[in-house]
Each structure stands twice: as C-alpha cells, then as structure tokens.
Amino acid sequence: MTDRRPLGRRLLRLRAALKRSRALLSLLALWLVCGALIFRFGRELSWTDAWLTAFYFEVQPDAPGQGYAFWGQSLLFGVFVALLLRDTLENYAERCRLMAGLVTEHTIIVGYTHLGKRLVDHCLAQGMPYVLIEKDRALVDDLLRKGEPVVVDDARSADALPAANIAGARRLIVASNNMETALIVTKEAREANPACKIAVRCPLDELAGVLEKLGADHVYSASLAAFKELTALMR
C-alpha cells in the first residue's frame, strides 16, 4: 500500500522531531542571542555585524572573537551529532507516539486484530489520517519502523486515548476482541469527545445495549447482523 499523503506525513514527522528536540534547539538559540548581545554591547559592533558574527558569517580577528567561533562551532557540531544520534537510536515507539498526538481530524483504531489491520490498510490506501492503539509491540513493529502514528499502550490505560489525541479525533473504532477494552474505551472516549463518532465490534450480543448506553453510535455483532439479514429475507 502507498501513502497518498507523503507531504503531510513528512510534516508530521518534522513536527514530532522538533518537539523532541526543543531543549537542544533552545540551547542553541540562547547561545546565538547571547553572542549577538555581547558583540553588540560588549564589543560595540553594529547590530548587523553583531548578528553576522553571532551566526559565524564573520569572525573577529581578536582572541575573544576567535574563541567564540571555536566554541560556537563546537556547540553546533555537538547539537548536530546529538540530533543525529537521537534520531538513529531513539525508541521507535516513542517517536510514533509523539506523532500520534499531533494528528487531527482522524480515525482512532483500537486493536490490531484482523479487522484492525484491514482498517489500517484501508486508511493507508485512501490517505486517511489515523492513529492505531495496540499494546502488543511485536504486532505493530513494521508500522513503528515505517514511522506510522501508533500508540503502543493498553487502550484501557488513562494515557492511551489522550496520546492518540482523542479530543481532536473525528471517529473511533474499537476493533479489539476484548470486551472489557470495548466498554472502558467507549465510556472514556465519549466523555473526552462528545462529538466523536464511536463504532464498536461486539462479539457478545447481550452487551450491545450496554455499549450504546455508554455512548457507542454503532455496535456491530456478527450474530445480530446475520439475524437482521435473515429476518429481512423472511419478510
């Protein structure tokens, strides 16, 4: 399957990378600003020369200027290496979790079951924004390595739905086979986002009504679906 939204996905990864690197980038910005102020007021350079020197477009010939250039370039090199190593060695799951929190107007899929996988494939094929929540990392390792928005967590935990940006989601589909998960996720999702459309797979007919009371807009049960089709044929 090919992603029909490559630009949007790249921007999402860039935003996640910037979010992860705020501390290093803030340190670099502070160094440059302090350098410009020192050259402006301490060395009485013009603002233009002060900023050019701070950003290493000019190098002052005296010892302080040479020292600033040396240590500044060392800092820049250190920040570059730190960012490179972080991107190389960083936990795939953490990076994808950060990406998931930045997606909006999306579909949250709970459970990478057979149904969940088909839904993810559909979203990828159609270029639809989505976030997957699955607690078994081994099942979603390929998606993590591809940089897809996946939250590796138990959907019943207090952090899972917020990590998937439930507040900004358009719809939520519970594809899990676990009924406890279905009940808890439905309740918490409805409380977090009253406008979100919630669809739940329900293997137990007797819990369909409970899910609807908890806030599910659509409850799908194999036996109920078969019953409706058969009774329609019997008319």
pLDDT at 2 over 50: no
pLDDT at 216 over 60: yes
CA dist., res. 122 & res. 132, Å (int): 13
pLDDT at 89 over 50: no
Going by C-alpha positions, the residue among 115, 219, 235, 123 that lies closest to residue 176 is 115
Alpha helices in the chain (DSSP H): 6-20, 22-37, 47-54, 63-89, 92-100, 114-126, 141-145, 160-163, 179-192, 208-214, 222-233
Structure tokens at 71: 């240590």
Give the pLDDT of residue 105: 95
C-beta of residue 175 within 8 angstroms of C-beta of residue 119: yes
C-beta of residue 207 within 8 angstroms of C-beta of residue 225: no
Going by C-alpha positions, the residue among 120, 123, 150 that lies closest to residue 138 is 150
CA dist., res. 174 & res. 115, Å (int): 10
pLDDT at 126 over 80: yes
C-beta of residue 168 within 8 angstroms of C-beta of residue 196: no
pLDDT (mean) for 185-205: 94
Domains and CATH numbers, the chain: 6-90 (1.10.287), 93-233 (3.40.50.720)
pLDDT at 112 over 60: yes
CA dist., res. 60 & res. 91, Å (int): 42
228 or 168, which is more confident: 168
Q: Which residues are bridge partners to 219 per DSSP?
A: 200
pLDDT (mean) for 82-99: 68
Phi, psi angles (nearest 5°) of residue 218? -140, 130
pLDDT (mean) for 185-198: 97
| Residue 109 binned pLDDT confidence (cut-offs 50, 70, 90) | very high
CA dist., res. 187 & res. 224, Å (int): 22
| Residue 191 binned pLDDT confidence (cut-offs 50, 70, 90) | very high
CA dist., res. 162 & res. 168, Å (int): 10
30 or 119, which is more confident: 119
Lowest mean pLDDT among 32-36, 154-158, 214-218: 32-36
Mean pLDDT over the full length of the chain: 80
pLDDT (mean) for 1-29: 59
Phi-psi region of 120 (alpha: psi -120 to 50; beta: other; left: phi over 0): alpha
Give the pLDDT of residue 205: 81
pLDDT at 51 over 90: no
Q: Work out whether strand 130-134 and strand 150-152 pair parallel, antiparallel, or are unpaired.
A: parallel
CA dist., res. 184 & res. 149, Å (int): 22
Structure tokens at 46: 């013009």
CA dist., res. 101 & res. 166, Å (int): 9
Going by C-alpha positions, the residue among 189, 165, 169 that lies closest to residue 15 is 165
pLDDT (mean) for 73-88: 60
